[in-house]
Structure 1
């Protein structure tokens, strides 16, 4: 009897211990990886969010968001998100078209300066203008200035011909083409069609956004790392275009991501078209997204690079209902992307994330 009582006490003690033990943190290794990445690259501020099944599953904030090292990076810290503006702007433009506010068939020539810009780019040494090769030897065709180009084709990065070429300068003319055809101001389109319905608070659509909230107040200033030391840079003064300009935190980008996936912004069938589209081994670019296949899974992503000032990574694994958003106030997240090949797996952060959570 005494033995049975002792056994029962031991069993109860074991169960109680199991119940109070801390659960395994599945994000701990990734958290440590990002913390180490920030230190190794000399980046002052880095923020990251993982969205899973329609909600924020994890978030991490590293370093400081001022030049004195006195303001810790937090959920409020904002960044210039550079080219990760493109999928947000493209979604708003498509939503505006679905509502009858513009036509995706409108010609880019509605922008009076587009032809001149095209000819300038074609004669320039810029690879996506005059053509050439990327670092892998993949051919980059020159811009085809004789080709009639529509807004829909520009959203797919077809300014250089039938195959996609990442051409951010041509993409930046989109708002001029829309206004030239009698459409609304792009800032109003993005505010009405995306930012408000997605609940993107304290998000500035460029420096001159009168409804930017606290986005500018919480902005992490840009730095360039020289010999391992971050050197503060002058803030870029470019305003909002379809190509870049949004100032936001990862949480606000996550709000966009959740609204996008749940059909609040555009019909879910349009997202499935991107997931199921046939793409070449080089990948593709459609409606503001790079498309790439990895281990049998479709990836939708965009990177952002503001030279010597900041960088961004926005990566979706649609069939896993999984998204990673990372922002930094140095160019540490940029990996020298090809202009004609989708290769987000070349990013060490993207690769780590995919291997850890998407397999």
Structure 2
């Protein structure tokens, strides 16, 4: 719940429009559309055009390029959640005979399979897919791998073409038809299509040293379509942002989407500004962690980014091959909105259900050795372990039917929390992934592994 109105304040709207206008003018792009979503609702959209008195509406299609990859990744995760594949499966288990037989599905999703970035010539983005009729045509047979499999992030467009073929193999029909039936229709995204539908923008290249333009070809890239074929609108991308933030009962759960945006390959250094999950790009912008994707095809650039902490998302679309810096505009719109109208914290409320006395008994201070932590009870019988001195490990733990809890984040993600009781039923200690938490620093010797010095705490 939020106390903010659906509409943004006039000063915020003016700042967003100004930033869009600067991007269109300085970037020398024929047109741009952009929008902001807050807490699941579109709250602003704007457009600028080279034509006086005319600007595209949020219903005009633009080609979204590699944003298509986020849709393909959702289809793959649907197969995973149905039990039809495992992310650790090699591609050859389901789609044998490709140049990427040894790569796992997770590696393809995260661009860590070591595959080449592009197809053999000619340039696939500007040529018809009929030039690459088979899966073997997507990579050079002599050297499909340019890096060791699973070692580094190396962006690969053919890798996502193979994932699209995997969807077709397991569903038994073209991936675009699967996408429409299983994802686009449930989300109400009826203006997202494989080929352009009226009204749509034309794509152009703008001369780098003169104010003249050149039309770009609108190609059907065939088997490479899962890497960047889709067309969409501002209104549909707003719906996509809401879905990527919260999930949808008929498409993918919020938990699965959270899995998609976890970093899959480690950054090169501690000051990372960008990374990749399992189908979603990650970036830092002015201290904010965001997830989403950029896209480009001849004549078009696109971006969609989401800041979970701010409850904000933004998209930007343009119809120029380069210029406008569309990839930067969407994060800038998020930052501007957050600065003008920072998110209000939810008001405190007591939980709806009465607390279980046995769970209340577990709350309060605990010690891992001499390191203090607090255990709090959250709604839904969730336990939250928090370090008290800035050091140590914390996590939330969800309840399980067997009376244990499972960590959902950080170091303890997937680890088990057990309450160990004395023979009389009273609480003795907590076992968290084999780490013992006691009610006092280095508590009873029979609970602490290795025992406790019998003389106890002393001055030296």
Same fold (TM over 0.5): yes
Q: Unpaired segments of 5 or more residues in structure 2?
A: 1-7, 115-149, 340-460
> Is it true that 1:51 corresponds to 2:37 in the alignment?
yes
Q: 1:246-289: per-residue Cα shift (whole Å, max 9, x none)?
A: 11101111112212322203222233445665853444311211
- Paired residue for 1:86? 69
- Paired residue for 2:457? none
User: Which of 271-280 and 88-97 deviates more?
Assistant: 271-280
Work out which structure has the larger RCO, using CA pairs closer than 8 Å and 6 or more positions apart in sequence.
1
Q: Unpaired segments of 5 or more residues in structure 1?
A: 1-21, 119-146, 208-214, 336-343
User: Helix, strand or coil for the counterpart of 1:332?
Assistant: coil
Q: 1 CA distance for matches of 2:167 and 2:328?
A: 37
User: Helix, strand or coil for the counterpart of 1:353?
Assistant: helix
CA contact (8 A) 2:75 2:167 kept: no
- Paired residue for 1:357? 337
Q: 2 CA distance for matches of 1:295 and 1:313?
A: 17
CA contact (8 A) 1:93 1:190 kept: no
- 2:191 counterpart (199, 202, 214): 202
Give 1:233 deviation, angstroms.
2.1
CA contact (8 A) 1:312 1:334 kept: no
- 2:312 counterpart (316, 319, 322): 322
- 1:263 counterpart (228, 247, 267): 247
User: Which of 268-277 and 313-322 deviates more?
Assistant: 268-277
CA contact (8 A) 1:51 1:324 kept: yes
> Is it true that 1:99 corresponds to 2:89 in the alignment?
no
> Is it true that 1:220 corresponds to 2:201 in the alignment?
yes
Taking structure 2 as the reference length, what is the TM-score of the superposition? 0.56
> Is it true that 1:35 corresponds to 2:35 in the alignment?
no
- 2:105 counterpart (119, 126, 151): 151
Give the CA RMSD over aligned residues.
2.9
- Paired residue for 2:156? 167
Q: CA distance change for structure 1 residues 199 and 181 in 2, over 3 Å: closer, same or farther?
A: closer
Give 1:182 deviation, angstroms.
6.3
CA contact (8 A) 2:285 2:331 kept: no
Q: CA distance change for structure 1 residues 323 and 100 in 2, over 3 Å: closer, same or farther?
A: same
- Paired residue for 1:123? none
CA contact (8 A) 2:245 2:306 kept: no
Structure that is richer in helix per residue:
1
Q: 2 CA distance for matches of 1:197 and 1:260?
A: 14
- Paired residue for 2:227? 243
> Is it true that 1:298 corresponds to 2:289 in the alignment?
yes
- Paired residue for 1:76? 59
Give 1:184 deviation, angstroms.
4.3
The within-5 A match list for 1:335-354 is: 347-350=327-330, 352-354=332-334
Q: CA distance change for structure 1 residues 90 and 325 in 2, over 3 Å: closer, same or farther?
A: same
Paired residues, number: 286
CA contact (8 A) 1:300 1:317 kept: yes
Q: 1 CA distance for matches of 2:322 and 2:225?
A: 23
Give 1:198 deviation, angstroms.
1.0
Give 1:295 deviation, angstroms.
5.0
Say which one has the larger Rg.
Answer: 2
CA contact (8 A) 1:88 1:256 kept: no
User: Which of 163-172 and 245-254 deviates more?
Assistant: 163-172
CA contact (8 A) 1:79 1:247 kept: yes
Give 1:149 deviation, angstroms.
0.9
- Paired residue for 2:179? 190
Q: 2 CA distance for matches of 1:296 and 1:88?
A: 27
Q: 1:157-181: per-residue Cα shift (whole Å, max 9, x none)?
A: 1111322221112222212234345
- 2:168 counterpart (155, 169, 179): 179
